[in-house]
Structure 1
Amino acid sequence: MEQPPAAEGAGTGPPPRSTGRRRLLALAAASLGAVHFPGAAGAAGAAHAAAPRCGLDVAGENALTGTADWRVTRTGAAGDIEGFAGRASVLAGEPVNLHVSTTAPRFTVSAFRMGWYGGARGRLVWRSSPLPGAVQPRTETDAATRMAHAAWQPSARLDTAAWPEGCYLLRLDTADGRAQRYVPLTIRSASTAGRLVIVNSVATWQAYNRWGGADLYKGTTGKKASRSLAVSFDRPYAGGQGSGQFLVYEAPLVALAERMGLPLAYATGADIARDPSLLCGAAAILSLGHDEYWSPEQRLHVARARDAGTNLAVFGANCCYRRIRYEPSSLGSDRIVVCYKDDYARDPGYRRGLPPTNDFRRSPAADAESKLLGVIYDGYPVDAPYVVTHPHHWLLAGTGARLGESIPHLVGVEYDRVNTRHPTPRPIEILSHSPVVRKGHRSHANTAYLTLPGGAGVFATGTMRWVEALDAGGPGAPHGLDARAHSFTRAVTENVLRAFAQGPAGASRPAADNVATHYPADPATTTPAP
């Protein structure tokens, strides 16, 4: 969209530049692991780190006492403290380097696992002793791609052996209390068999990360011509107080899924791209609120799992729209996201014969996202009511929805629709048909449910505001979303998660195609059954 706002390496980084710097790093490493809390196991050795896990007890984990003060409440001045992890995800027990720059002489790191926890939404799993702080060089920029990155030395090496798998926010606090920032990290699952897979959309977070002056949309001039052609994980996140897009587009659904106590697994899009077997036997793949940037490998592995009977739920819009390529940095593989978009012919990788890094639906190598999802991105910006057209469908059970009911502001800022002018698997069932006007163009947004010959069900909300609406209804709710938006999206989401956790939903709940009811003039362009 155009909206303003091999395994990864161990992250050891380049060697320290001076004896003093070596001493700082040694002190930092020595101080880690010094403080533990109830509910977290003690430090474990390398043998334990290599032991396989059978899967997280989600209900048991969320029965532990939460921590109310996980939020960033003091941002301080720019540069007071910020950081990034040397890996976007690790298995529990794998080390991860933390790269921090701060004007404070000392700082601490607190690891919060994000979930439900009786409404607290986070649990303190570990906290460091005070670590020595230092100001690190601000930015380096690649001349060819305008990619900004922080060539920072590691400030600490974290031992994750006692950390349960899940979505984490590491909070950096200056010792004087004046500033805090987040660093996101996924403790990924070794296996997803029989589980709902929560996928953190880390490539999309980086696409919109303007730390260092540019993202994949705009650069230092504020114009498209100054945008980056590649973006790096080797830098902090400028948005979300350092959390990227996690708190807006992902955390509300993580909290709901964990509250339900369903079997969950955790991964990033990069993990799925890298490991062809990661989704083997998964009950469902959950794409959250804004999951725009995918590599061809991620798409291939998701499609194979879907065709083998793994359900797919898209709780957003604009999913799988941009085609990217991962490249390594000095810290490891998958640390650079390449996306030239309309300038794909300039991409050295494309010139070497790699797939173009443009939109999936565009030539060359056109492969519209509707083939995977059933729906296709139709545009932005819109702000429109969500209109229910199939209130008696099993996915809407418990919502109290009425035919034609209109839920204010639930459609936006981007939306998807069923459009059989693009390849569309059938049967597909439209559950909402919401009129929208985008830059003078009239269209519709659709929630849809698709079933496939392999047994999988595919659910797509058709609106980017779905996950945000899960927390709507209270004071300060975004976009004017109200309590009705909250109750409706929560009930539907629970129906999706419960049904998809039981295995291939299409086998027991086949879709009844009703496209002609809503789009009688559309040609019957379909994707043949595999």
Structure 2
Amino acid sequence: MFRKLLVAALACVLAVVAFVFVDRKADAAAAGVSVTAAQATNGTTTLTYRATVLKAGSIREITVAIPAGTTGRITSINGTVSSVTRTVLRWRPTRVTNVAVGAHLAIPMYGIRLPAGGPWTLGFKSMGTANQVITSGAGVLQPLRSYTPQVAVVASNPIPAQTTNLIYQATVTSAGTLAAVRMQLPTDATGPYTTINGTLTVSAGYATWKPKAPLNVAAGARLGIPVNGVKLSRYGGTMTFSVSATTSTGTVLTTGSTTRTFIAPPAAMPAVAADAFAGVPTGCPQTWPTTTAENAKPGTGDWVIPAAMNGTITAYLTKVSASCGDTVDLKVSSGNNVSVVAYRMGYYAGLGAREVWRQDNVPTVTQPKETIGGTTPDGKPLNMVSAANWTKTLSIPVDKSWTPGTYLIKISDGTQATYAPLTVRDDTGAKHDLLIQQATATWQAYNGFGGRSFYTSLASGSGRLTFDRPYDEGQGSGQYLALEQGLVFWAESKGLDVTYWTDNDLDQYGGQLKSRAGTLFLPGHDEYYSLRMRAAISQAIAQGVNIANLGANTAYRLITFTDESRRSWDIDRYTDGYNSTTWRYQGDAYASQPLLGADYVCAVTAGTLTTTGSWLFKGVPMGTKLPGFIAGEVDNVWPGLYKQPGQTTLVSGTATCHTNGRAAPMDTTVYTAPSGARVLNASTFAYGCFLVRRCPSNWAVPEPDAASQQAVATMIANVTEWVSGGTITVPANTTAAKVRVAVPKQKLATSTQP
């Protein structure tokens, strides 16, 4: 007990002595005692005590104070270290050490682990062999500053597909002699790489910089290593960059990482000339009836082909679209006499169509088998299925009775029947409030007539698709009945000033968009775009034309029409399989998101959308469930892709990807372009089919009920009024237009490819 008390008392005395080793302030000042700390690579701290000798002599020992709470295995050099108390250490030299007045002492203590807190006043006392005080005083130890790597990467031109200079920055956390700095390069970047004040070697995605001569760096020093001439990949995104600085023996002086986002702005598009409208042909009207007047004419349900009449009869037209004064040839394969009836699709009191033209008892033949062939310039197979070898069955004159619109030509022998779709343009030069586009290029990509489509397989799928063949989907209508009729039916039921054209027309007449309409509606599945098509959309937005993309996966794949007839188009499936067919393969600047607001995720099984307080749902109670509305394919906002300034997300939801079973996010987005054009990206296929309560039979979609149809009709009215900036007023009908005929549900070809 006495011993413990003595030790405790001694500790207190020594602690006091540590602060008052000498009585005279002048001597203490002359000693010039200082205590500094440095962090070692193993995480411990080295304290170095320094003092000036005041009396000559031979050193017997040096005692130093340490902060209370200090731990660690403490060592030194040129002497031995022992503990006097918990706060005092004794250092004794291993050999005779004679010092003269004015000499400078420096005693390092290694392996110290300092407590929290500080600053601390620590005493220093050196005793001679003659029991004289050689020097004595106290110094202030500031808390050890802990440095973090603070890695950063500065880019002079952070644009994908362009060249930039990078500066890799990091803070030295441990002092030492710098021999090399290893830096992670941007993903898929290329050189040439240059630097300054050292050499640069590049390997496996890293650049290593070595100084011309070893550099001594202190903890806290800031490194800045330039890597110039970095050619960034055409793909951007958020990338990770690590930096590690080491000595020649591999001791780490600093290491850490950071992230940096490289975003590509929208790609520049070529200008699309606004060609003058051709004169109105003789016998064609200068103006056409209003939508209301047209739909007041008698409608009919005879246009419907019952499922029982599906069969082997097939047909196609030699034009995708036409205008008053044109003649369109029809080619039918049957062998029986048929009736050919043209129906204009619309509302017509819920019957959905009006008969415009017919010819009965038309003789037909069984046409020869379609051909499969074609090669790329370097001899690779195109696998194009074509029925161009069929003979003409009859010619159809498109005259003044053909009010512009979407048409289904019904060919029937009384037992079997099929459709051939046609869009009739208004080429008078009149500007309409709304233009609805038909996704003809996409219909053709999914068309499996003759056993081949783009999606048949990677090896045997078609690299060239032609309109010279019937559609095997939609009873010959392509994807019109499954995805697009609903939008036509709704717009005409509301009496909107609407006109129509196709993908092919966007390619041919895209420069006229501003003259044709104030607002453009893109349909549910408008995936395949040529350069002229994309350029025309981009140019139209810049000119103030509003765009509502009422689908998803739009402008996703890049095609090239083979000639000015636009009867066929090519798609590159050889460079990198399905990857090289996409617009985004050209680089992030060509993704759909920079143009329309969101980008493709995947094909999905149906998800439920829940309404919110957004203006999109004005008139629909908040919290309303729309089962199956997130359907077909979906888009969402990708964080690594360009977002238009001011872009917002109106509503989000999820569905399940077909390919991997994971949750797929869906974002409906809007933005206003500098031109004032408003752009909406719906990011789901379901608007069209919900408007007629008839979604594809192979979708995992609950049959839309009347309440869901009404909710979607209200939503599309809100979209129309917002995107048009109020220039289109949708009549405030409280009841959604009802279809009065029973149309068979269509099976829609889908893709499991990315």
**TM class, shorter-length:** 0.7 to 0.9
The match for 1:232 is 466
Shift of 1:289: 1.0
Shift of 1:197: 0.7
2:507 to 248, 265, 273: 273
Shift of 1:253: 0.6
> C-alpha distance in 2, partners of 1:66/1:262?
18
Query: In the comparison of the two structures, how many residue pairs are matched?
Result: 436
Sequence identity (%): 29
Shift of 1:344: 3.9
State the one-letter code of the partner of 2:489.
A
1:253 to 466, 482, 487: 487
The match for 1:135 is 366
Shift of 1:68: 1.3
Shift of 1:502: 5.4
Change (3 A) 1:473 1:47: closer
CA contact (8 A) 1:455 1:504 kept: no
Deviations 1:445-490 (A, max 9, x none): 1112211111111112211122211122899996104334312211
The match for 1:114 is 345
2:295 is the counterpart of 1:62 = yes
1:482 to 701, 704, 707: 704
Change (3 A) 1:63 1:148: same
CA contact (8 A) 1:294 1:320 kept: yes
> C-alpha distance in 1, partners of 2:576/2:600?
24
Deviations 1:50-77 (A, max 9, x none): x6x4354111001111111111126657
2:631 is the counterpart of 1:412 = yes
Shift of 1:401: 2.6
Deviations 1:381-423 (A, max 9, x none): 232111334x1x3332112233xx4422211221111223111
User: Secondary structure at the residue paired with 1:284?
Assistant: strand
The match for 2:543 is 308
> C-alpha distance in 1, partners of 2:694/2:343?
26
Change (3 A) 1:229 1:477: closer
CA contact (8 A) 1:56 1:263 kept: no
CA contact (8 A) 2:692 2:709 kept: yes
2:636 is the counterpart of 1:397 = no
Matches within 5 A, 1:133-282: 133-143=364-374, 144-150=381-387, 151-161=389-399, 162-174=401-413, 177-190=414-427, 191=429, 193-218=431-456, 223-281=457-515, 282=517
> C-alpha distance in 1, partners of 2:385/2:584?
28
State the one-letter code of the partner of 2:586.
S
Shift of 1:85: 0.5
2:555 is the counterpart of 1:325 = no
User: Secondary structure at the residue paired with 1:172?
Assistant: strand
CA contact (8 A) 1:193 1:279 kept: no
Unaligned runs of 5+ in 2: 1-271, 273-279, 375-380, 729-754
**Moved >6 Å (runs of 4+):** 473-478
2:317 is the counterpart of 1:94 = no
> C-alpha distance in 2, partners of 1:346/1:452?
35
Shift of 1:429: 2.0
Matches within 5 A, 1:371-390: 371-389=594-612
State the one-letter code of the partner of 1:169.
L
CA contact (8 A) 2:611 2:617 kept: no
CA contact (8 A) 1:192 1:265 kept: no
Shift of 1:431: 1.7
State the one-letter code of the partner of 1:360.
W
CA contact (8 A) 1:436 1:443 kept: yes
Matches within 5 A, 1:360-509: 360-363=583-586, 367-389=590-612, 391=613, 393-402=614-623, 405-438=624-657, 439-472=660-693, 479-483=701-705, 484-501=707-724
> C-alpha distance in 2, partners of 1:273/1:344?
24
CA contact (8 A) 2:602 2:633 kept: yes
The match for 1:103 is 335
The match for 1:12 is none
Provide the aligned C-alpha RMSD in A.
2.6
> C-alpha distance in 1, partners of 2:726/2:501?
19
Shift of 1:346: 9.6
> C-alpha distance in 1, partners of 2:382/2:696?
42
CA contact (8 A) 2:506 2:536 kept: yes
Deviations 1:337-358 (A, max 9, x none): 21224x24799xxxxxxxx972
> C-alpha distance in 2, partners of 1:487/1:477?
23
CA contact (8 A) 2:604 2:664 kept: no
> C-alpha distance in 1, partners of 2:503/2:696?
33
Deviates more, 1:128-137 or 1:481-490: 481-490
State the one-letter code of the partner of 2:585.
R
State the one-letter code of the partner of 2:298.
T
Shift of 1:168: 0.1
> C-alpha distance in 2, partners of 1:475/1:462?
17
Shift of 1:276: 3.7
Deviations 1:196-252 (A, max 9, x none): 11101000000000001100000xxxx331111111100001111100000011001
Deviations 1:126-161 (A, max 9, x none): 111321211111211114211101111111111110
> C-alpha distance in 2, partners of 1:490/1:125?
28
Change (3 A) 1:192 1:304: farther
Unaligned runs of 5+ in 1: 1-5, 7-44, 348-355, 506-530
Change (3 A) 1:310 1:55: farther
State the one-letter code of the partner of 1:159.
P
The match for 1:521 is none
When normalised by structure 1's length, the TM-score is 0.77
Change (3 A) 1:364 1:449: closer
User: Secondary structure at the residue paired with 2:586?
Assistant: coil
> C-alpha distance in 2, partners of 1:437/1:308?
38
CA contact (8 A) 1:284 1:310 kept: yes
State the one-letter code of the partner of 1:482.
P
User: Secondary structure at the residue paired with 1:205?
Assistant: helix
The match for 1:84 is 316
Change (3 A) 1:496 1:77: closer
Deviations 1:424-454 (A, max 9, x none): 2121221211133432434421112211111
The match for 1:123 is 354
CA contact (8 A) 1:192 1:280 kept: no
State the one-letter code of the partner of 2:325.
G
CA contact (8 A) 1:194 1:501 kept: no
Deviations 1:156-214 (A, max 9, x none): 1111102100000000011xx11111000000121462421110100000000000110
CA contact (8 A) 1:114 1:121 kept: yes
Change (3 A) 1:279 1:56: farther
Normalized per residue, the structure richer in strand is: 2
Normalized per residue, the structure richer in helix is: 1
